[in-house]
Structure 1
Amino acid sequence: MALFKPIQVGNIVLKNRIGMASLTRNRAQNTYPMELMREYYVQRASAGLIIAEATLVTRQGTEWPHAPGIWDEKHIAGWKNITDGVHEAGGKMYGQLWHVGRVGHPDAPEQKLAGVPVYAPSAISARGGKFRHIPGNPGYVTPTEIDDPWIIIRLFKEAAINAKKAGFDGIQLHGANGYIISQFLDSNSNKRTDQWGGSVENRARFPLEVLKAVREVFGRDVAIKLSPAGGYNDMGMPLQETLDTFSYLISEADKLDIAFFELVRYAKQYDVEYDGVLRATQHDILESYRPYIKNAKLFLNAAVTPEEGEALVSAGKIDGIFIGFNYITHPDVVERALHGKPFDNVPDIPHLQTNATVTDWSTGYTDYPRAQY
């Protein structure tokens, strides 16, 4: 079975081609990884590769409290405890570096502690948003334009240095879902007239420079996650502009000899409707961008079943898959796929993320049963 054959990705060999996608679970305490998070990731170490939950390169006012960071020694120690556990269990683990850009909020406790404005490529607010942990559940605000993007690039590099110390096997840039890398790429959120905006080449400059910076730390063991169809967090350009932008970015990133791309295809559940119109730019991600990937490996995400993944890998269209939601409710995704067992654990929706009513953070987190084999 193609999905269960080892594969070399960058400088490491994965034992199978089923990856655990990055999943925001919000069990960090004051941005610091907890022991419970080690248990969670170790439970899922049979994955070919685990991508850690999105991890902030600097303190920001995210939509969710209890997101982890990686900017100081205590963060490094917390993550090292987790990567050590995953490695002891025979797994491999990438960190995912994250900056939320314009989808932060100045009234969020984390943003207040940061002491800086909500930054973005341009002073353009995203539509929507709902900060449930802030009184009144406010939406997105108009951000402050970043004066010098190199400052943010240096934050990513410093975070990569910390991730290296923390024992991650590599790092993935969160270039999807409307966060800061997406914001630079998208002409609707980036109206700059300097070298960081305007043309396709200028809008792609930021993600490419971040890739170069973190590659100085991790070498080939660097990846990027992209969602060209957009939709989420008010992302999306006209089709031709989308094709031009992402084909250029992917082609240029592939020349940097990175480990892999994770492409997120269109998924209706992540699309958003504004003024009666769906936001996403629906198109075939594989057909559109596969030809531009000549060196790196390609993994597909968004409602990909093991059966579909097996067919796509066998046909040579992709190198592997990432599974998201099913990894929340099934620590043994690989074993279930191998033995043909159903993904039948019922999601504990109220406890997927922490909130004021959750007192035992293991509930809906580490308490899902494995199947009988």
Structure 2
Amino acid sequence: MPSLFDPVQAGRLQLRNRIVMAPLTRNRAPNAVPTPLMAEYYAQRASAGLLITEATAISHQGQGYADVPGLYGTEQLDGWKRVTSAVHAKGGRIVTQLWHVGRVSHTSLQPEGQAPVAPSAITAKTKTYLIDDQGGRFAETSEPRALRLEELPGIVHDFRHAARHAVSTAHFDGVEIHGANGYLLDQFLKRGSNHRTDDYGGSIENRARLLLEVMRAICDEVGAGLVGIRLSPVTPANDVHDPDPQPLFEYVVRQLAPLGLAYIHIIEGATGGARELPDRPFDYDALKRAYRDAGGRGAWMVNNGYDKASAEKAVANGADLVAFGKLYIANPDLVERLRTDAPLNAPDKMTFYGGGAKGYTDYPALGQTK
């Protein structure tokens, strides 16, 4: 029976344990440029089998929150190169999560103050994070405009371009595509946010078209064995919903199966909340079977509120990887703490978004005092 601490292969990624640091937005990249402080933060956590970076915008249009990093400029790539170098020096493996927020943005964050883009011109009932003269604050998202059909190849190109430079220039070990949590690709998938009547709306096949075009383009660019994807079938995050998610996501994973991905990363339930939603039932075992039955051999990663006991149970029941989010904020040496059943540091929620070293790189490892 595999252990949480045993090595595992995920595509072309050889991982020293099955513990993953989930992507965590921390808003500490002014002008979308990764900083030396970020290099220290990720290097502190390099004992994870795999680090997944905070969501990273593929273009200026893809930005949705203040001070989140990008992957579309030279200075940004140079900043990420310092991060990957620091992680690799500690023997770690790190992939970047490629992100386009779609409608979850604000005009002040968009090129020339333009409206955010979306599958359909439907405002998300959610908030984004701004930093201005008033300091850091949450604000309502701006009304989006619907993407024109002729613009969609450009979105695919931006994903492909970001993936290529993530691997070849910034020296990431791979990439994860953000297809979850109510951002652009998830907005296209789900009927609550996609009211299109062209080839990218209506049927399941049409709504999944953009996500699958992006995935095929990235796999062609960097090799499928270095590519993962994050999906969230039923989360209500960022005002996203679909009335019938089971056939939708089973179709998606069946189409992904032949690509030979490194892994599938599934958020179970509400992101950062309940794992089971009475009004949104979902069979995750059936989802995994659909993927395996279609020939999918990538590692299966589970996520949402896991602790050591539930993670061990998940691995015993067939999960290959378990992603931990908030526990990694306050516990840079989480692998060793889980291995030895050591006490866990409690996170300072006031420092989650924005700021400097406080609540970011100053959490003590075992044997240290704060």
Determine if contact 2:59/2:71 at 8 Å carries over to the other structure: yes
| Structure 2 CA distance for partners of 1:350 and 1:61, relative to 1, 3 Å | farther
CA distance in 1 between counterparts of 2:221 and 2:112 reads: 25
Give the fraction of aligned pairs with identical amino acids, expressed as a percent: 39
CA distance in 2 between counterparts of 1:213 and 1:160 reads: 10
Determine if contact 1:10/1:259 at 8 Å carries over to the other structure: yes
Name the structure 2 match of 1:352: 352
CA distance in 1 between counterparts of 2:196 and 2:315 reads: 40
Cα shift readout 1:96-143 (whole Å, capped 9, x = no counterpart)? 00011011111x2x31x4554311111111123255546896422321
Query: Structure 2 length normalisation: TM-score?
Result: 0.91
CA distance in 2 between counterparts of 1:331 and 1:213 reads: 34
Aligned: 1:123 with 2:121: yes
CA distance in 1 between counterparts of 2:114 and 2:266 reads: 32
CA distance in 1 between counterparts of 2:272 and 2:313 reads: 24
CA distance in 1 between counterparts of 2:279 and 2:96 reads: 28
Aligned: 1:327 with 2:328: yes
State the shift of 1:11 in Å.
0.8
Name the structure 2 match of 1:67: 68
SS at match of 1:27: coil
CA distance in 1 between counterparts of 2:271 and 2:10 reads: 30
CA distance in 1 between counterparts of 2:171 and 2:39 reads: 13
CA distance in 2 between counterparts of 1:163 and 1:285 reads: 34
Name the structure 2 match of 1:103: 104
Pairs within 5 Å for 1:143-162: 143-147=144-148, 148-162=151-165
Aligned: 1:286 with 2:288: no
User: Which amino acid is the alignment partner of residue 166 of structure 1?
Assistant: A
SS at match of 1:293: helix
Pairs within 5 Å for 1:143-222: 143-147=144-148, 148-164=151-167, 165-219=169-223, 220-222=225-227
Structure 1 unpaired stretches of 5+: 272-277
Q: 1:236 aligns with which of 236, 241, 252?
A: 241
Aligned: 1:369 with 2:364: yes
SS at match of 2:4: helix
SS at match of 2:161: helix
Name the structure 1 match of 2:27: 26
Pairs within 5 Å for 1:8-87: 8-60=9-61, 62=63, 64-87=65-88
Determine if contact 1:237/1:281 at 8 Å carries over to the other structure: no
User: Which amino acid is the alignment partner of residue 215 of structure 1?
Assistant: C
User: Which amino acid is the alignment partner of residue 245 of structure 1?
Assistant: L
Name the structure 2 match of 1:274: none
SS at match of 1:197: coil
CA distance in 1 between counterparts of 2:265 and 2:271 reads: 18
User: Which amino acid is the alignment partner of residue 166 of structure 2?
Assistant: A
Query: Structure 1 length normalisation: TM-score?
Result: 0.90
Determine if contact 1:57/1:69 at 8 Å carries over to the other structure: yes
Cα shift readout 1:38-81 (whole Å, capped 9, x = no counterpart)? 00000000000000110001114855311000001111111011
Name the structure 1 match of 2:140: 139
Determine if contact 1:336/1:342 at 8 Å carries over to the other structure: yes
Determine if contact 1:42/1:85 at 8 Å carries over to the other structure: yes
| Structure 2 CA distance for partners of 1:283 and 1:89, relative to 1, 3 Å | same
Determine if contact 1:234/1:279 at 8 Å carries over to the other structure: no
Aligned residues: 355
Determine if contact 1:229/1:266 at 8 Å carries over to the other structure: yes
Determine if contact 1:230/1:280 at 8 Å carries over to the other structure: no
Aligned: 1:225 with 2:227: no
| Structure 2 CA distance for partners of 1:114 and 1:314, relative to 1, 3 Å | farther
Name the structure 1 match of 2:248: 245
State the shift of 1:290 in Å.
1.3
SS at match of 2:31: coil
State the shift of 1:350 in Å.
1.6
CA distance in 1 between counterparts of 2:66 and 2:39 reads: 19
Determine if contact 2:63/2:100 at 8 Å carries over to the other structure: no
State the shift of 1:346 in Å.
2.4
Determine if contact 2:273/2:305 at 8 Å carries over to the other structure: no
Determine if contact 2:115/2:143 at 8 Å carries over to the other structure: no
CA distance in 1 between counterparts of 2:171 and 2:112 reads: 26
Determine if contact 2:173/2:226 at 8 Å carries over to the other structure: yes
Structure 2 unpaired stretches of 5+: none
User: Which amino acid is the alignment partner of residue 303 of structure 2?
Assistant: N
SS at match of 2:239: coil
State the shift of 1:162 in Å.
1.4
| Structure 2 CA distance for partners of 1:41 and 1:242, relative to 1, 3 Å | same
Cα shift readout 1:131-166 (whole Å, capped 9, x = no counterpart)? 554689642232111112111111111111110110
